[in-house]
Amino acid sequence: MNARSSILFLALVSLQAQPRSNDPSAGFWRMIVLNSPTQVPVAEPLPVTDAAYQAELTVVKQAQSRLTSEEREAVDYWSRGGVLRWNEITMEMVAKANLPPAPRDDGTYPVPDANNPFADPMFPFANPPYAARAYSYVAVAQYEALKVAWYYKYLYNRPSPATVDSGVQALRPSPGLPAYPSEDAVVAGATAAILQLLFPTEVESIARRSAEQRQSALLAGRATPSDLNAGVALGQAVANLVITRARTDGMGAAVGNAALWQSLADQARARGVIPWLSLESPPRPPMLPLFGRVLAWSMTAADIAAERPRPPPSTSSAQMAREVAEVKDTLRRLTRRQMAIAYKWADGAGTPTPPGHWNYIAAPHIADAGFSEVRAARALALLNMAMHDAAVGCWDAKYAYFNPRPPQLDPSIRTSVGLPNFPAYTSGHSTFSAAAAEVLSYLFPASAATFEADREEASISRLYAGIHYRSDIEVGKRHGQRIGAYTLRSARSDGADE
Amino acid sequence: MKQKFAALFCASLWLGVAPAQTIDDGIMMGKRLMCAGYMFGHDSWGHYWEGSRHRNNGNIGTLRTQSHQLFANYGLSSKLNVIAHAPHVQTEATQGVLAGMRGWQDATIAVKYKFFEAPVKKVGSFRAIAVVSGAAPMTNYTPDFLPLSIGLASRRVSARLTGHVRTRRGWFVNLSPSYTWRDGVQLDRPFFYTNGRLTFSDRVEMPRVFDYAASAGLIRGEMVLSASYSEQRTLGGGDIRRQDMPFVSNRMNFSRVGGWAKIPLPKQQALSIVAGFSYVVKGRNVGQSTTVTAGMMVLFNLPGGKKN
């Protein structure tokens, strides 16, 4: 780097927001999966006067002295914060994997196989429940690992390389934050481990990005090799504890089987209502009928059952007839502005899904708030835990009632977005959005009105699209708010607000 | 003679779903002659190419597109013509639940300039024509609901060069390559995934397009017969992924064969009936379209133009 470009670069880097607080007590915030930060031991680092540490500083300085433009770009890229960058990366992986299996020639559909992820269909099919769960595991793994990291940072108080040696350039300073273990490496290690479980076809790109994040921390003068090594080991160890939970949370059984799919229809008929039917050709099995039994974050199975909404209007009731008529009437009068709202929130195949959309909404608020890395992780963890619980609660209701979509009850209805292949009641968009808006309004109260407006728009978009009735939306929103409240009850006492 | 040329020009307008063939043929209108008309088009496909995979889709069935097009062509001089056309398009899928769409699509204006003409010994004549055309959506339709969107909603500019050889007996060959620059298109959503990337923007960059049309045919009196082969190559963009929907910036390529005939009314030479047919033989990220068109056009002098 020549002198001029390095001054310019430093000037650019120094414009980035500094955390308002390093949150030195974050090591004592309540854990979610772990019991205590000491569950994962981290060895005491060598003193900074040790010759071995001094040799590490030399490694950093040498690397900084021959920084390539590619490395500068990487430092700049990760300066937005690892938590936010990995959130974007996860959104991309979800969008890429969010494609339903193509039918076989015999009219049946193959099921993606985690043990054979590169086959057709690839594993996973990152549909909204899968995605909600994935975002939550990534965020929780990061949050748990960072709380442990903060515990050891303030236990050992090793200063940053640039503080120890003025010859090290602080390209991305975190004043006063102890460097050991490196929070960048903690995030890199924890995220890589959990993402490789969730998106096994992406193993190579995940490993490459994880290595790039760690190397960028070294090049930015934030961490020495020993800070990084301790961090990545800690991140991986925490992720492994989170993965143990993920492997037994019920996801593997959520697809169900032919007998289950048939019994759902039979039970609806026994209740005297018209059962949901797939309108795809050939008919596709319903999406993840047992996702309602997947382990939630802030709710027990009893909570999920207790919060299940009352039944939808019977398919033969006058109210249902009115609601079908409302859908049809809405489509007949649809304005271009309403269509735009339907497209904006379509969030169907090939997109990051509605939970991804809400991560996209949250990201600039987190970036602008000047949060420490651990507090940024908390924000995304709370948001995504609430949306995962919303997916569990909503799917529980959908398969408890197995209610038909509007085009099934009135075949003249034609939709403005792809018709989701699962029951109507209640609206997933409405449930996700209401839960997300509850959490974001707690985290960023000054912007509560915009979150509420987004919740309303996302919810009503499904009526404009012709794929939901009014009841699905209104009941879904209230359900989502109650679910969000569970997340907030524990959040308010987790220690972070003190 | 001038009017014959003009009528022929008129006949070759907009056959198939391709951009107006008037733009890529070798025929010029005489000074102050105006040709205007209406063309109906019906396009359908049951198979399409998902990337390079040829397939059908039970959730689409057959995709039908009907178009009603108004067009006009005016001779500022015998060397310089101005062309305009405006199609109204309606789509529907015969299976599945997706709503069809309808509306005015993109208006095109083209300036066509004959910059060279010379006799060819023992054969007939050769002419070279340059065309610059621009097109823009007439309405705020969405390109984000393919294959049911009525168009790609991209403003674009094309440069075209046409070479045309005609024998004294009326046989002709015509070769017309072109290059198209397309402006980005606006989506109603803040991010999109295509070509291996999630982009956080509502604006989609559109790759450039190369295409050419080769045609040969016979002009005998007022009767015209023509056969053509054309190819479009999109110079960038991603493939439709397995079981995904098409996307506006996909790499849409095709090879198409077609033919058309023009017949003037026996007792009213200024009125002509035209019919055309085309078929996509090979493609990538497009439907395997069969297209039929039929229309009527009228030729007249504007004040100051040469009387017949």
Are residues A163 and A268 located together in one domain of the fold?
no
Nearest to B243 among A91, A100, A351 (CB): A100
Are residues A221 and A337 located together in one domain of the fold?
no
Alpha-carbon span A264 to A244, nearest angstrom: 31
Q: Does A297 map to a domain?
A: yes
Q: Name every chain B residue with its beta carbon within 8 A of the beta carbon of A418.
A: 98, 245
User: In this complex, is the C-beta atom of B191 within 8 Å of any C-beta atom belonging to chain A?
Assistant: yes
Residues A419, B58: C-beta atoms closer than 8 Å:
no
Residues A101, B144: C-beta atoms closer than 8 Å:
no
Q: Name every chain B residue with its beta carbon within 8 A of the beta carbon of A112.
A: none
Q: Does A70 map to a domain?
A: yes
Closest CA to A238 of A149, A131, A136, A135: A149
Nearest to B188 among A340, A350, A360 (CB): A340
Residues paired with A415 in a beta bridge: B98
- CATH number at A286 reads 1.10.606.20
Q: Does A95 map to a domain?
A: yes
pLDDT for B222: 67
Are residues A377 and A293 located together in one domain of the fold?
yes
Are residues A109 and A218 located together in one domain of the fold?
yes
Say how many C-beta atoms besides its own lie within 10 A of residue A28's C-beta.
17
Contacts of A205 (CB under 8 A, 6+ apart): none
Closest CA to A470 of A341, A248, A296, A322: A322
User: In this complex, is the C-beta atom of B187 within 8 Å of any C-beta atom belonging to chain A?
Assistant: yes
Nearest to A99 among B191, B198, B242 (CB): B242
Q: Name every chain B residue with its beta carbon within 8 A of the beta carbon of A87.
A: none
Helix ranges, A248-317 (H)? 258-270, 301-307
pLDDT for B299: 83
- Name the residue range of residue A67's domain: 14-247
User: A199, A232, A247: which is the final residue of a domain?
Assistant: A247
Q: Name every chain B residue with its beta carbon within 8 A of the beta carbon of A91.
A: 191, 198
Q: Name every chain B residue with its beta carbon within 8 A of the beta carbon of A121.
A: 242-243
Q: Which residue has the tokens 């205007």?
A: B36
Residues B188, A343: C-beta atoms closer than 8 Å:
yes
Tokens of A233: 């080991």
**How far A85 CA sits from the closest chain B CA (Å)?**
13
Half-sphere exposure of A318 (CA within 13 A, CB side): 0
Are residues A322 and A346 located together in one domain of the fold?
yes
Are residues A420 and A455 located together in one domain of the fold?
yes
pLDDT digits (tens), chain B, 308 positions: 333 333 333 333 332 333 345 788 887 888 998 888 899 999 999 999 999 999 999 999 999 999 999 989 999 999 999 999 999 999 999 999 999 999 999 999 999 999 999 999 999 999 999 999 999 999 999 999 999 999 999 999 999 999 999 999 999 999 999 999 999 999 999 999 999 999 999 999 999 999 999 999 998 876 788 999 999 999 999 999 999 999 999 999 999 999 988 888 888 878 889 899 999 999 999 999 999 999 998 888 877 554 33
* pLDDT tens digits, one per residue of A135-189: 999 999 999 999 999 999 999 999 999 999 999 999 999 999 999 999 999 999 9
Nearest to B189 among A96, A102, A343 (CB): A343
**How far A291 CA sits from the closest chain B CA (Å)?**
23
pLDDT for B300: 82
Are residues A289 and A416 located together in one domain of the fold?
yes
Residues A88, B197: C-beta atoms closer than 8 Å:
no
User: In this complex, is the C-beta atom of A350 within 8 Å of any C-beta atom belonging to chain B?
Assistant: yes
Contact B207, B184 (CB under 8 A): no
Q: Name every chain A residue with its beta carbon within 8 A of the beta carbon of B96.
A: 279-281
User: In this complex, is the C-beta atom of A415 within 8 Å of any C-beta atom belonging to chain B?
Assistant: yes
Q: Name every chain B residue with its beta carbon within 8 A of the beta carbon of A103.
A: 58
Element (H, E) at B89: strand B80-93
Q: CA A403: distance to chain centroid? A: 28
Alpha-carbon span A134 to A59, nearest angstrom: 37
Are residues A209 and A330 located together in one domain of the fold?
no
Angle of CA points A119, A125, A130, to nearest 5°:
140
Residues B140, A336: C-beta atoms closer than 8 Å:
yes
Q: Does A496 map to a domain?
A: no
pLDDT digits (tens), chain A, 498 positions: 344 444 444 444 444 445 679 999 999 999 999 999 999 999 999 999 999 999 999 999 999 999 999 999 999 999 999 999 999 999 999 999 999 999 999 999 999 999 999 999 999 999 999 999 999 999 999 999 999 999 999 999 999 999 999 999 999 999 999 999 999 999 999 999 999 999 999 999 999 999 999 999 999 999 999 999 999 999 999 999 999 999 999 999 999 999 999 999 999 999 999 999 999 999 999 999 999 999 999 999 999 999 999 999 999 999 999 999 999 999 999 999 999 999 999 999 999 999 999 999 999 999 999 999 999 999 999 999 999 999 999 999 999 999 999 999 999 999 999 999 999 999 999 999 999 999 999 999 999 999 999 999 999 999 999 999 999 999 999 999 999 999 999 999 999 998
Tally of structural domains, chain A: 2
- Provide the phi-psi class of A332: left if phi over 0, else alpha when psi is between -120 and 50, else beta: alpha
Are residues A224 and A316 located together in one domain of the fold?
no
User: In this complex, is the C-beta atom of B100 within 8 Å of any C-beta atom belonging to chain A?
Assistant: yes
Report all structural domains of chain B as residue ranges with CATH numbers, in order of start.
2-299 (2.40.160.40)
Residues A101, B190: C-beta atoms closer than 8 Å:
no
User: A247, A275, A304: which is the final residue of a domain?
Assistant: A247
User: In this complex, is the C-beta atom of A352 within 8 Å of any C-beta atom belonging to chain B?
Assistant: yes
Q: Does A55 map to a domain?
A: yes
Residue from A93, A281, A351, A360 whose CB has the most chain B CBs within 10 Å, to mutate: A281
Q: Does A1 map to a domain?
A: no
User: In this complex, is the C-beta atom of A282 within 8 Å of any C-beta atom belonging to chain B?
Assistant: yes
Residues A415, B99: C-beta atoms closer than 8 Å:
yes
The whole-chain average pLDDT of chain A stands at: 95
User: A205, A225, A247: which is the final residue of a domain?
Assistant: A247
Are residues A226 and A172 located together in one domain of the fold?
yes
Are residues A270 and A398 located together in one domain of the fold?
yes
Nearest to B242 among A120, A336, A341 (CB): A120
Alpha-carbon span A202 to A102, nearest angstrom: 21
Evaluate the CA torsion angle A369, A371, A377, A381 in order and state its sign.
negative
Residue from B50, B188, B202, B241 whose CB has the most chain A CBs within 10 Å, to mutate: B188
Q: Does A6 map to a domain?
A: no
Q: Which residue has the tokens 């927001």?
A: A17
User: In this complex, is the C-beta atom of B118 within 8 Å of any C-beta atom belonging to chain A?
Assistant: no
Residues A88, B200: C-beta atoms closer than 8 Å:
yes
Alpha-carbon span A36 to A30, nearest angstrom: 8
Q: Does A5 map to a domain?
A: no
**How far A225 CA sits from the closest chain B CA (Å)?**
32
Helix ranges, A292-423 (H)? 301-307, 318-332, 336-344, 353-369, 373-401, 406-409
Q: What is the ipTM of this complex?
A: 0.93
User: In this complex, is the C-beta atom of A360 within 8 Å of any C-beta atom belonging to chain B?
Assistant: yes
Are residues A200 and A215 located together in one domain of the fold?
yes
pLDDT for A132: 98
Tokens of A44: 């005491």
Q: Name every chain B residue with its beta carbon within 8 A of the beta carbon of A279.
A: 96-97
**How far A244 CA sits from the closest chain B CA (Å)?**
30
